[in-house]
Structure 1
Amino acid sequence: MSPHLDPLHEALARLDSLWTDAGDAEDFSRAQLVEANDALGMMRRLVDALHAEVAAGIARESRPELGPGSLAKQQGFRTPAQLIATAGGTSSGDASRLVKVGEATAPRSDLLGGPRPARYPAVRQAVVSGALHTTAAALIIALLDRARLRTDLTQIDEAEKLLADKAANLSLDDVRRLLTRAEAWLDPDGVASREEEARSRRSLTMFERDGCLHLSAVLDIESGASIRAAIAGYVNSAFGARKDAVDPGAPDADHRTVAMLQADALSTICAHALGCDNHAPALAGATVVVRVHLDDLTAGTGFGTVDGVDTPVSIATVRRMAASGGVIPCVLGSAGEVLDWGRERRLFTKAQRLALAERDGGCAMCGLPPDMTKAHHIAWWQRDAGPTDLSNGVLLCESCHHRIHDNGWEIRIDGAGAASRVWFIPPPYVDAARTPRLGGLARYTLAA
């Protein structure tokens, strides 16, 4: 057996044992379902890693200079991507990504035939070990290739190592969030140019069809942040009223979907603007929070972030937004309000929520934006006499709050201030070793 295939054989042996014991997946216990899911996930990553190596080899043997001797043409295909896609039943785009990952992570040779490391050795190690899926690797490689044109190679190497490590424990959606921030970190000067491009594409079209008014909008972050916050605030207010309803099953109860609520929010807000009588619609305290480090704000460098939005914004945009009504500028590193209240207050203050949002970025467990979360005591106020301090607070959405309490998860806060981190500790039946899982905004930053 080739050592190269050992991890794949181990994952297959786990699956073989599970099916031998249970006979059929529908007869699996919960523990067996989790184990099978883990083994299948590992197998998929390992198989795709091997496929990337083979795809790079097919591309090498199908390079244009080979002419009629191209492997792809000999097999009856115009491109190597078509050959790979046909065999795997995937698209040419998926095949091309496999080729790029294989080429970027394959060992190289110099002009004299001597060995050279792969272009991205840290990504190679993560892919070959099965820690990183090739799709996530392709996104990382694409970002690093773009950044090479305008960023110091030392910073590229540092970013590669951090990204390969961080992305190994994230879903593909979370990898995209991580890369959005990583691009701003690698090229802060490029944030403004990307903003200008997005601003030039903003549009709103309206037309009538089938008795309805249709709207389609594309907005840059600066223009859209206040719209998003206002609509989300209206929806949150509606859900709060629905939760407090005496009889949710009554004929006149609110059964609108989220999409309906968002449409009603836009209509209500616009109607208020047309006939403003100083009674704003209920928006559940909707605000736009823009965050920036003091040094960056002073020097006019770096970038800022908007709560609930993944895309960073330029310093110029931070300054414009901070001058607008309904926007709270949060400058980090300056003297702030008292953030620890001990047992004097039961509810977290607005200043404390802002500080928690800076650390957690929204729900510290699932990543929902801050306006869909509440500040919760880790050590309970009544049962544990827990203080209303930042070190005892965490932002959680309603679903994750119940999930933690109902299923025996624990929360731990390490460090203090800006350096603090949120860790979720699974119960023994989920992980016998109870290995802590990083939560909060730290999952999506390049801090080591």
Structure 2
Amino acid sequence: MRAIWPDDEVETLTDADLVAANERYCRMQRMLAADQARFAAEIARRSRPELGPESLAKTQGFRNPTALIAATSGGSTGDAARLVKVGEAIAPRQLLSGERAPARHPHVAEAMARATITERAAAAIVALLDRVAFRAGLEAIEVAEKTLVEQAPGLSMDQLARVLVRAEAWLDPDGVAIREDEKRGAEQLTMREVDGMFEFAGRLTPEHGAPLKVAIEAMVSAEMRATRDAARDGTADPDVPRRSVVQMQADALVRLCEHALGCDRTDLPLQGATVVVRIDHENLVNDTGFATIDGITAPISVATARRMAAAGEIISCVLDGNGQILDWGRTRRLFSRNQRLALLERDGGCAMCGAPPGQVKVHHIRWWARDAGPTDLANGICLCESCHHRIHDNGWEIRIDGIGVRAKVWFLPPPHVDPARTPRLGGRARYDYAA
């Protein structure tokens, strides 16, 4: 069987036609995956254990339905099990009375029928809802299911995973501290010397990992800016090999340790690198809910937030019910950083691509030079270097709806990307659970 689109024809497509063709094929894949999930669930139903040797899987020579599906699809048994789970969640149910009832997860079923979410996204959403169903209650689960299937289209699986982590904290806030205790017991750092090199491997909780992540990202960003400036100015040394990001991260860790051993040094580029712990005032007062750390997906308990806020160079941000900032914890140089910190509350990092706070700068929405844009909060936005150039060079526009940290950031694509110029949600609202 030959490809529907021969290579020589694919290469002649215009940019717009290529993007449109890719979108059509992705939609077709989602439609096929929905059907495949239903087939998988039916195969599992006809292969249930009580049927014994008469089960469908065993009559076909397989020990269970996932083995049959995996052998047919060429995937893993894990992929097959995921298909079965999704199929069972979206298929109409058969009651003991013989009547048919709606699917266990009707919003997921509808989204898959419309081909707006992938089978993998559906599986992740279903797994979360099933995990917290008992503690959250039926009403909260239904609202969460509807919210998540509306939020999932347009997100990669990595981005959706971030939303699901926050959603779990909203649905099961009491479980945040429990999961923290489990993670704290799993913290580790191993060091060994192999072939003249040192190998490090470890796992840290958000509380302990956040300062390290922020510091390393700040140092790597500073080195990347210096490398870029040297290349632009023609002062780069051609005999010095360029370091990769992972090599720069290793360099940053070494420099942090060197700094700790001789703390009179002040040459580390960490100015402005701050760990921000965010919590609603009601949760802080009542010891309920959870807090978040900028640049870290996993939520933390209120007790951990209080402990971190008491540490040096950790800033706590307390928000009222409308998302307005009630209080900033204090640290050195706070006055010179307050605008950046306030905008990071709204944007969460790069407002366009979601890069962490250590990799962004605050830029003018109305350009400083061209538009005489003011340097104030209403005209600021957090962007990484790449997205900043994309905005400036490719004709994107930015719109801010509302004020304060609850304001929403929208990016309007240029006509050559989307003739309708449909606004695309950005900032923290794109990746946080929209409770």
TM-score by length of 1: 0.90
Residue 384, structure 1, aligned to residue 371, structure 2: yes
Mapping for residues 250-269 of structure 1, pairs under 5 Å? 250-251=237-238, 253=240, 255-269=242-256
The letter for the 2-side match of 1:408 is G
Q: 1:312 pairs with 299, 318, 335, which one?
A: 299
CA distance in 1, matches of 2:368, 2:153: 36
Match of 1:57 in 2: 42
Match of 1:180 in 2: 165
Match of 2:407 in 1: 420
Match of 2:349 in 1: 362
Residue 148 of structure 1 aligns to a residue whose secondary structure is helix
The letter for the 2-side match of 1:230 is A
Match of 2:430 in 1: 443
Mapping for residues 32-71 of structure 1, pairs under 5 Å? 32-71=17-56
Q: Deviations over 1:32-84 (max 9, x none)?
A: 11011101110111110010011111011000111111001001111111111
User: Which shows bigger deviation, 232-241 or 437-446?
Assistant: 232-241
2:361–2:383 CA contact under 8 A, matched in 1: yes
Residue 193, structure 1, aligned to residue 181, structure 2: no
Alpha-carbon distance change, 303 to 160 in structure 1, aligned in 2, over 3 angstroms: same
1:159–1:446 CA contact under 8 A, matched in 2: no
Mapping for residues 297-336 of structure 1, pairs under 5 Å? 297-333=284-320, 334-335=325-326
Mapping for residues 43-442 of structure 1, pairs under 5 Å? 43-245=28-230, 246-251=233-238, 253=240, 255-277=242-264, 279=266, 281-333=268-320, 334-335=325-326, 350-442=337-429
Q: Deviations over 1:330-380 (max 9, x none)?
A: 11125458xxxxxxxxxx952221121111111111110011011111111
The letter for the 1-side match of 2:401 is D
Q: Offset of 1:280 from its aligned partner?
A: 5.4
Q: Offset of 1:214 from its aligned partner?
A: 1.3
CA distance in 1, matches of 2:212, 2:253: 9
Q: Offset of 1:237 from its aligned partner?
A: 2.1
Q: Offset of 1:329 from its aligned partner?
A: 0.9
Q: Offset of 1:248 from its aligned partner?
A: 4.5
User: Which shows bigger deviation, 324-333 or 154-163?
Assistant: 324-333
The letter for the 2-side match of 1:149 is F
Residue 398 of structure 2 aligns to a residue whose secondary structure is strand
Stretches of structure 1 lacking an aligned partner (at least 5 in a row): 1-14, 338-347
Q: Offset of 1:255 from its aligned partner?
A: 2.0
1:126–1:168 CA contact under 8 A, matched in 2: no
1:234–1:284 CA contact under 8 A, matched in 2: no
CA distance in 2, matches of 1:253, 1:286: 28
CA distance in 2, matches of 1:62, 1:446: 38
Q: Offset of 1:249 from its aligned partner?
A: 3.7
Alpha-carbon distance change, 264 to 445 in structure 1, aligned in 2, over 3 angstroms: closer
CA distance in 2, matches of 1:394, 1:275: 37
Alpha-carbon distance change, 243 to 438 in structure 1, aligned in 2, over 3 angstroms: same
Match of 2:331 in 1: none
2:162–2:432 CA contact under 8 A, matched in 1: no
1:204–1:216 CA contact under 8 A, matched in 2: yes
Match of 1:4 in 2: none
CA distance in 1, matches of 2:304, 2:363: 32
Q: Deviations over 1:95-115 (max 9, x none)?
A: 110110010111113222223
CA distance in 2, matches of 1:50, 1:425: 35
CA distance in 2, matches of 1:86, 1:325: 56
The letter for the 2-side match of 1:219 is L
TM-score by length of 2: 0.92
User: Which shows bigger deviation, 370-379 or 129-138?
Assistant: 370-379
Alpha-carbon distance change, 280 to 299 in structure 1, aligned in 2, over 3 angstroms: farther
How many correspondences in the alignment? 421
CA distance in 1, matches of 2:296, 2:241: 29
Q: Offset of 1:177 from its aligned partner?
A: 0.7
Q: Deviations over 1:366-399 (max 9, x none)?
A: 1100110111111112222222233322111110
CA distance in 2, matches of 1:369, 1:309: 8
The letter for the 1-side match of 2:27 is M
Residue 194 of structure 1 aligns to a residue whose secondary structure is helix
The letter for the 1-side match of 2:212 is I
Stretches of structure 2 lacking an aligned partner (at least 5 in a row): 329-334
The letter for the 2-side match of 1:354 is L
> Percent identity, aligned pairs only?
56
